[in-house]
């Protein structure tokens, strides 16, 4: 077993991480490789690593987190390799939960749940980020694959099968390299799992400016992902009939609502006949329930996109149309309430609503900036669900 810590400066974080590893019986004797990615104060980082019993591999200049992880991966000789960022503190027993997954020879990666590290330096955004961090994939375990509810894993903490990763992360990607890795592995037939019973705490940004800057950077990763993985990175996955019905209903007036009802009725009939099969009763009731449920889910997906991925389009429409402005405000309010309700005991509604809008503005700005920089709109385009 080998632990790889990619880092640039952050000597105190490395010292804290190594202390946690030594204190956990599961990791007390493992080999730890600290990969110094061009630190400005290399001696301080080397001293922290030496005090924690870790080896140091150094890049003379910064080559990015993907290259730092790959350097550690190349130097590892064990089949099991854990990647831990320097702002992480694994909880005791995390490795014992994850290691048994590698008994499956088809499994390449398994990841723990990333939760907030308690801090004495809480900022205004801390309660919101603690509740809904982009690194926290939730409480349900499961397989990870593109275009699913668990579509990626953050590389802040991963346990991997060294031989499955080949050359490892794509060093040409300075952001979203973890998403790219998971999707390449899934495309090659490897299994990827998420196991929230294992926990690793992460030091989230406490500064609102730093937090927003990170969210914008996350958004820029969509464009290079789209160039590599196409529709897997689509910001909206919705069936054409759901989108058509919702847009017609929003058009207003009885003609739009009538046409929307006709679209849903046609979808219900088609689905009912597909479900029936030869010689079986046509289940119109079941089909209608499925269509309505799908339409409701599509409505929330489109509403989320209007306030996050495609907010520049929403803002443009609101500037020229009073109706669009009213719809946008209603959608933003509903989105904030629905997002806040599961976390109502952890963060207040006003803080949640403001932070959600700021986060979406930052992410959307990064998304569009990345698309413009690459002169490729693929990361902005919707797609339909895969047929099964």
With contact defined as beta carbons under 8 Å apart, do 200 and 114 qualify?
Answer: yes
Residue 135's pLDDT is 96
Residue 387's pLDDT is 64
What digits encode the pLDDT tens for the residues 259-271?
Answer: 899 999 998 998 8
Distances from the Cα of 171 to the Cαs of 67, 71, 74, 97, 273, in angstroms?
5, 10, 13, 30, 49
Q: How far is the C-alpha of 229 from the C-alpha of 184, rounded, in Å?
A: 9
Residue 209's pLDDT is 96
Residue 275's pLDDT is 86
Residue 217's pLDDT is 96
Distance of CA 55 to the CA centre of its chain: 31
What digits encode the pLDDT tens for the residues 295-350?
Answer: 888 888 999 999 999 999 999 999 999 988 998 999 999 999 999 999 999 999 99
* Long-range contacts from 249-255, C-beta under 8 angstroms, 24+ separation: 250/327, 252/323
In the chain, which stretches have pLDDT less than 70?
A: 252, 279, 387-388
**Which domains occur in the chain, in start order?**
2-206 (3.90.550.10), 240-380 (no CATH)
Residue 388's pLDDT is 52
Closest CA to 37 of 7, 66, 81, 72: 7
Residue 360's pLDDT is 97
| CA-based torsion, 36, 169, 180, 157: positive or negative | negative
Q: Find the radius of gyration of the CA atoms of the chain.
A: 23
What digits encode the pLDDT tens for the residues 147-157?
Answer: 888 999 999 99
pTM over 0.85: yes
């Amino acid at each position: 077993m080998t632990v790889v810590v990619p880092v640039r400066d952050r000597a105190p974080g490395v010292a804290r991480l190594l202390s946690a590893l030594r204190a956990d019986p599961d990791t007390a004797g493992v080999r730890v490789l600290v990969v110094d990615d061009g630190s400005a104060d290399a001696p301080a980082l080397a001293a922290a690593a030496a005090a924690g019993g870790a080896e140091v591999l150094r890049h003379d200049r910064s080559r990015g987190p993907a290259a730092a992880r790959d350097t550690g991966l190349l130097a590892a000789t064990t089949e099991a390799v854990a990647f831990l960022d320097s702002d992480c503190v694994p909880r005791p027993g995390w490795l014992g939960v994850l290691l048994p997954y590698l008994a499956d020879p088809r499994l390449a990666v398994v990841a723990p749940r990333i939760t907030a590290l308690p801090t004495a330096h809480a900022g205004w955004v801390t309660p919101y980020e603690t509740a809904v961090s982009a690194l926290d994939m939730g409480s349900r375990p499961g397989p990870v694959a593109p275009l699913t509810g668990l579509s990626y894993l953050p590389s802040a903490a991963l346990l991997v099968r060294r031989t499955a990763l080949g050359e490892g992360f794509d060093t040409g990607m300075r952001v979203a390299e973890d998403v790219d890795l998971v999707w390449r592995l899934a495309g090659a037939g490897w299994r990827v799992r998420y196991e929230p019973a294992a926990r690793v705490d992460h030091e989230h940004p406490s500064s609102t400016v730093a937090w927003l800057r990170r969210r914008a950077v996350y958004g820029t990763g969509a464009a290079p992902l789209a160039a590599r993985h196409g529709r897997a990175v689509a910001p909206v996955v919705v069936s054409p009939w759901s989108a058509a019905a919702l847009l017609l209903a929003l058009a207003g007036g009885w003609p739009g609502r009538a046409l929307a009802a006709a679209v849903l009725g046609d979808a219900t009939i088609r689905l009912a006949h597909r479900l029936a099969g030869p010689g079986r009763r046509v289940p119109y009731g079941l089909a209608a329930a499925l269509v309505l449920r799908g339409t409701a889910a599509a409505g929330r997906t489109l509403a989320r996109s209007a306030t996050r991925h495609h907010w520049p389009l929403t803002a443009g429409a609101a500037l020229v149309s009073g109706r669009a402005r009213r719809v946008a405000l209603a959608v933003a309010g509903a989105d904030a309430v629905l997002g806040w309700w599961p976390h109502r005991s952890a963060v207040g509604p006003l803080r949640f609503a403001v932070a959600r809008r700021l986060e979406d503005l930052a992410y959307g700005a990064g998304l569009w900036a990345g698309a413009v920089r690459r002169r490729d709109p693929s990361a902005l385009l919707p797609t339909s669900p895969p047929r099964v």
